[in-house]
Structure 1
Amino acid sequence: MKVKIGRSRIIQPLYEGTPPTITNHIPLSVFDKVTYDQHVAVIYAYRPPIPPTVTIELGLQKALAEYREWAGRLGKDDNADPIILLNDEGVKFVEASVDRSLDQVMPFRPSASLLSLHPSLEGVVELVQVQLTTFSCGSLVVGFTANHLVADGHSTSNFLVAWGQACRGLEISPLPFHDRTIFSPRDPPILEFEHRGFEYINKKLKKVYPLIHNGVDDIVAHKVHYSTAFLAKLKAKASSLNGNNKPFSTFESLLAHLWRSITRARGLSEHEVTQVRISVDGRHRLNPKVPNYFGNLVLWAFPKAKVNDLLNQPLPYATKLIHDAVTNVNDNYFKSFIDFANHEVKEEEDLVPNAVADTEESILWPNLEVDSWLRFPFYELDFGCGGPYIFMPSFFPTEGMIFLLPSFIQDGSIDVFVPLFRDNLETFRQICYSLD
């Protein structure tokens, strides 16, 4: 796919009335500091007729006025602590074109060709980048990248919805809550949980990975579609030992199935330990709740198991491990983390965020990480031509990093993107629909 880059410029917020000062800044919260310091890219595709570019651009300017952090820059304060400079320097806005129809060239799974549909993720000072690529058939692909230090998936998807609302002349709703100073530690701190080895690791303790002959070039991103009928059967089987207790969720059941299937496809030793890193949103787990908070408000659950137990015990075993681990990341856990991050991390200079170390790895073997976008309103980005008919992550070749998305059929089915080594892919294909 040959993409011709046209006009590129910086888009700044458009305020009603007197613009705010551009000398203010806000600190990164303890949740921002432990997440990934990198851009994340997503791809949207729209069928014609498409609104004029000026409409999409103006809507973005209006949305940036409410989500001002995206138009700023990362920096340091006088104490060398990380901050977001609210300087309105703007976001990158690129226009591009392809002299072919979208259906001829658009892959329906992440592949390297998607990288040409959004700006580069390397060496970026802008916190948001947008690329509008028009095709000869009149279709539009929107490539969007955002720095994860500024906001998590929940906040980013709300911003994208707001962008669409502004394009359609609607009031932005809900309005974001911006105060990142609300996560105050308790006095005295109450450290109920262990956070070393979870959110933080000792930088002197280098991770030791098994010898793997495959390289990054051998990683293939495979797409699996799970129908609503399959998911219903899977959920029933995962919950079959629950008795009168509440059934496990579709997410828990599907993740347990994927964990077992991928572990089997990898051919791991039965004595090896494998774990899954699962994002847990704190907006409705904290007391009091902060539903419209803009920023990062995620910690992680880490269910783990010996390969022998994971594969030989029935599906409910893995599902319960996931359910219990996610349930335990509750209000007490979030507040314990806030206390730990404000006290212990300052005292122990060798502690660094676990996510920073993980970002440097392209192979998660024998572990997994799951990014679930099942509850995010990504499909509600409507510029005035209706919602997208394709939505997917860009190409992100990290072995073991799986993405769960609502299918663009929008019937309750789920699409899963699974990056695996090519040698393991055929086995995974053979068993990924097995309920045995």
Structure 2
Amino acid sequence: MDGASFFHAFSSCLEIVNGSSSLSKPPAFQRCFLNNNTTDDFHTIRIPNSYIKQIANEADDAPSGVKVRVFHFSKEIIAKLKEKSNAEVGINVEISSLQALLCHLWRSIVRNKKIDPDQETSYCLLIDARKRIRGLSEAYFGNALQIEIVTMKVKELLDNGLGNAAWQMNKVVASCNEEKLRNFFECGKRCPKLTRLSNLAPNIAVVTSGSPRLDIYGGDTGLGRPVAIRSGPGNKFDGRATVQSGKEDGSIDIEVCLPVETFEAMEKDKEIMDTVSTKS
């Protein structure tokens, strides 16, 4: 299941632990959101054995030396990054706070990896489909994601400012409409494939999952308010970024996986370090 469903399951468990006899938001297990007239749109999807054997020999190599750090951004800093992005774009486009923040991180990672300016760099976004498809419940339990890629030349990303990068991301997110999502899911039904990082796009610098909209700190565990949130040891690879709400209202934590040398370079990068808070 995706992050939204995981948080739904986690919240439901907390309700049960705290004595609730019924769930405030029961999960929706129906798989009929594509045609709205059948209950088995996704009842069975068969992946050919030949395809499984093919990808078994193409395993993505996990890079050595990857470490995990958490970057905490305050509500005030995020607002400033959003304001800067919209001022630089200067057209009738509303750059979101998250788009501005993610592009701020993307630029820092690419800058400190010292990638060839003429090379392309890509940002992989996982976009929730629940609010974009009519008839698809927000309580849909499973995976309801669309993968979108933002690609730019390194020199364009670094030389044309934060606003330009955020605008490119904004356009990609805006293009993820209901028609596109339905086509994506229909294609997956007709020709199922397993998504792999190596065949998504060349030169992926960051892959983002998670959402600051999920109130992870708000759940009552019976042991007091959570002190910190971590995503565990799975799926740790170069460029993985997990976005979560911060402990303070309006703040955001981003758990980032990168090689040690990239983190060391970022520690000396005033542009990124001046925006990182130590309050969380």
Q: TM-score range by the shorter chain?
A: 0.7 to 0.9
Matched residue, 1:176 = 27
**Deviations, residues 107-135 of structure 1 (Å, cap 9, x unaligned):** xxxxxxxxxxxxxxxxxxxxxxxxxxxxx
Choose between structure 1 and 2 for higher RCO, CA contacts under 8 A separated by at least 6 residues: 2
Q: Give the CA deviation at 1:421.
A: 1.3
The secondary structure found in structure 2 opposite 1:399 is coil
The gaps in structure 1 that reach 5 residues or longer are 1-150, 187-202, 347-351
Q: Give the CA deviation at 1:366.
A: 4.5
Distance 2:36 2:188 in 1: 9
Q: Which has the higher strand share?
A: 1
The secondary structure found in structure 2 opposite 1:393 is coil
Distance 1:280 1:360 in 2: 18
Matched residue, 1:279 = 126
TM norm structure 2:
0.80
Contact 1:370 1:402 in 2 (8 A): yes
The secondary structure found in structure 2 opposite 1:303 is strand
Is residue 249 of structure 2 the alignment partner of residue 402 of structure 1? no
**Deviations, residues 24-72 of structure 1 (Å, cap 9, x unaligned):** xxxxxxxxxxxxxxxxxxxxxxxxxxxxxxxxxxxxxxxxxxxxxxxxx
Matched residue, 1:295 = 142
Q: Give the CA deviation at 1:360.
A: 11
Contact 2:112 2:265 in 1 (8 A): yes
Matched residue, 2:80 = 233
Q: Over aligned residues, Cα RMSD in angstroms? A: 2.9
Distance 2:27 2:36 in 1: 23
Matched residue, 1:158 = 8
**Deviations, residues 152-177 of structure 1 (Å, cap 9, x unaligned):** 11111011111111112223111111
Matched residue, 2:68 = 221
Amino acid at match of 2:176: V
Matched residue, 2:50 = none
Contact 1:283 1:290 in 2 (8 A): yes
Matched residue, 1:371 = 209
Q: Give percent identity, aligned residues only.
A: 23
Contact 2:215 2:245 in 1 (8 A): no
Is residue 197 of structure 2 the alignment partner of residue 358 of structure 1? yes
Matched residue, 1:107 = none
**Deviations, residues 339-374 of structure 1 (Å, cap 9, x unaligned):** 32233x17xxxxx32x2x32899xx95421011331
The gaps in structure 2 that reach 5 residues or longer are 38-53, 276-280
Distance 1:395 1:365 in 2: 24
Amino acid at match of 2:9: F
Distance 2:170 2:160 in 1: 16
Matched residue, 1:38 = none
Distance 1:299 1:222 in 2: 26
Distance 1:339 1:157 in 2: 26
1:319 aligned to which of 166, 174, 179: 166
Amino acid at match of 1:172: L
Q: Which has the higher helix share?
A: 2
Aligned residues: 252
Distance 1:360 1:307 in 2: 20
Bigger-Rg structure (1/2)? 1
Contact 1:401 1:419 in 2 (8 A): yes
The secondary structure found in structure 2 opposite 1:217 is coil
